[in-house]
Structure 1
Amino acid sequence: MTSTPEPRPARNAPWRTPARPSGPTNPDPSTPPEDVYLAIGRIVGAHGVRGEAKMEIYSQHPERIPQLRRVYFNDDPAPVRLLGARLHGGQALLRLEGVVDRDAAEALRGTLVRISGSQAKPLEEGEFYHYQLIGLAVFLEDGTPLGELSEIIESGEVDVYVVRRPDGGEDLFPALHDVVLEIDPVGNRVVVRPQVWEDEPPRQARVVRAARPRARGPRRADH
């Protein structure tokens, strides 16, 4: 039996970083995904008088939320038993162990709700969680160190990687395969090719140093 190679992404296809940071603090980029906690939403108030909590959904797969049986709050590693969950009006309504009335649910307002990486949907080829990229060393194609990937701006279909230089300045790179050539969280390495502008000689490139794009709101986490 013969096999055909997987198609390579188009040169201008975006790198996919479907998940927001895992919580109030980021783990080390080399941490395996199954060993981290991923944000799926934030509690925004109470629903009704029987203790249901309303959660703003970050997940790209909200249909998976009713299947969950445990969640985690903020940076607390202790699991919280999820007695039930349902989707309602673009939000998730959670029934949590020990939360029996409206006051108890309201007290959770602002709480970040997370799941363990082992509960998450596996990443596809070429996908990375945000925590796997933040803090990586960034190099040009010829090996010249450029700085550290300090932030990911979610500006629409294509994320923008912010690289902080040693002098404190910032360079911006769209997360496209012909600009970001390599991402290696285990090797602590990102390789970029600065964009070439039409008014410059061939093979001469410059790093984009421009005003930051305005983000269109948080991209939902994949789980």
Structure 2
Amino acid sequence: MSQSVMGQAMVTTEDITVLGKVSTAFGIKGWVKVYSYTDPITNILDYERWLIKVGGEWRPYQVEDGQTQGKGLTAKLKGVSDRDMALALSQLEIGVPTSELPEPAENEHYWFQLEGLKVVNTHGQWLGRVKELFESGGGNLVMVVAACEGSLDRQERLLPYVDAIVLDVDLDKGEIQVEWDSDF
């Protein structure tokens, strides 16, 4: 388990949520282009400190400034003062301590909270576990349910993450109940 220092507290990788990545350098003064996983994308700029995974370790960076640039984002990080330093951060993940994330609204969940949950249909059949979620375009969210030990079969399923399909998410139980026939 990798640990890194942020202020005085030690941060374990389990306590970090990835919110995006540095794409590449932007200009010659140390700015970086940022690919944000947040919705809206500008939410990543709400965090004054980012953890960037450099050489397998999370290192803290102070965000001095950030702005939209075309359809993307750029940011200026304290201590990153030229293009070469910015290029050294290219394609590295940006995270924040999970404890700093805002509490989701009732009946809303972060994607990372759903990954690994057991998926059971209304007939009591265990379809598998949530492997990942992704947007399929047009704002449609898809849940990838992978077969695992104990599941009904070895089939991987793609389920639309919509109210008509996802009936209940119980984080305490580690389970999602869905309206989904096992033949699909």
The one-letter amino acid of 1:97's match is K
The one-letter amino acid of 2:34's match is M
Sequence identity (%) = 28
Determine which of 47, 56, 59 is the counterpart of 2:35: 56
In structure 2, relative to structure 1, the CA distance for the partners of 1:181 and 1:99 (3 Å cut) is: same
Query: Are positions 1:177 and 2:159 aligned together?
Result: no
In structure 2, relative to structure 1, the CA distance for the partners of 1:65 and 1:169 (3 Å cut) is: closer
| Bigger Cα Rg | 1
Are the counterparts in 1 of residues 50 and 62 from structure 2 also a CA contact under 8 Å?
yes
Task: Give the corresponding residue for 2:60.
Answer: 79
Write out per-residue CA displacement over residues 106-151 of structure 1, whole angstroms, 9 at most, x where no aligned residue.
1111112222334334322222111111111122224332322223
Task: Give the corresponding residue for 1:207.
Answer: 182
Cα distance between partner residues in 2 of 1:77 and 1:107 = 15
In structure 2, relative to structure 1, the CA distance for the partners of 1:125 and 1:78 (3 Å cut) is: same
Cα distance between partner residues in 2 of 1:142 and 1:182 = 14
In structure 2, relative to structure 1, the CA distance for the partners of 1:64 and 1:152 (3 Å cut) is: closer
The structure in which a higher percent of residues are strand is 2
Of stretches 74-83 and 42-51 in structure 1, the one that deviates more from structure 2 is: 74-83
Task: Give the corresponding residue for 1:162.
Answer: 144
Query: Are positions 1:37 and 2:17 aligned together?
Result: yes
Cα distance between partner residues in 2 of 1:136 and 1:176 = 17
Say which SS state the counterpart of residue 105 (structure 2) adopts: coil
Normalising to structure 1: TM-score of the pair? 0.63
Task: Give the corresponding residue for 2:111.
Answer: 130
Cα distance between partner residues in 1 of 2:175 and 2:118 = 5
Are the counterparts in 1 of residues 18 and 93 from structure 2 also a CA contact under 8 Å?
no
Cα distance between partner residues in 1 of 2:45 and 2:171 = 32
Are the counterparts in 2 of residues 172 and 208 from structure 1 also a CA contact under 8 Å?
no
Cα distance between partner residues in 2 of 1:64 and 1:144 = 38
1:189 Cα deviation (Å)?
A: 0.9
1:65 Cα deviation (Å)?
A: 4.7
Normalising to structure 2: TM-score of the pair? 0.75
Are the counterparts in 1 of residues 42 and 73 from structure 2 also a CA contact under 8 Å?
no
Structure 2: 5+ residue stretches without partners: 1-12
Task: Give the corresponding residue for 1:6.
Answer: none
Cα distance between partner residues in 2 of 1:133 and 1:66 = 24
The one-letter amino acid of 2:162's match is L
Write out per-residue CA displacement over residues 65-110 of structure 1, whole angstroms, 9 at most, x where no aligned residue.
5543210113634321222223322332222222111111111111
Cα distance between partner residues in 2 of 1:50 and 1:65 = 21
Structure 1: 5+ residue stretches without partners: 1-25, 28-34, 195-205, 210-223
Higher relative contact order, chain-length normalized (CA < 8 Å, sep 6+): 1
What stretches of structure 1 move > 4 A for 4+ residues in a row? 62-67
Aligned pair count reads 165
Cα distance between partner residues in 1 of 2:16 and 2:45 = 21
In structure 2, relative to structure 1, the CA distance for the partners of 1:68 and 1:189 (3 Å cut) is: closer
In structure 2, relative to structure 1, the CA distance for the partners of 1:61 and 1:117 (3 Å cut) is: farther
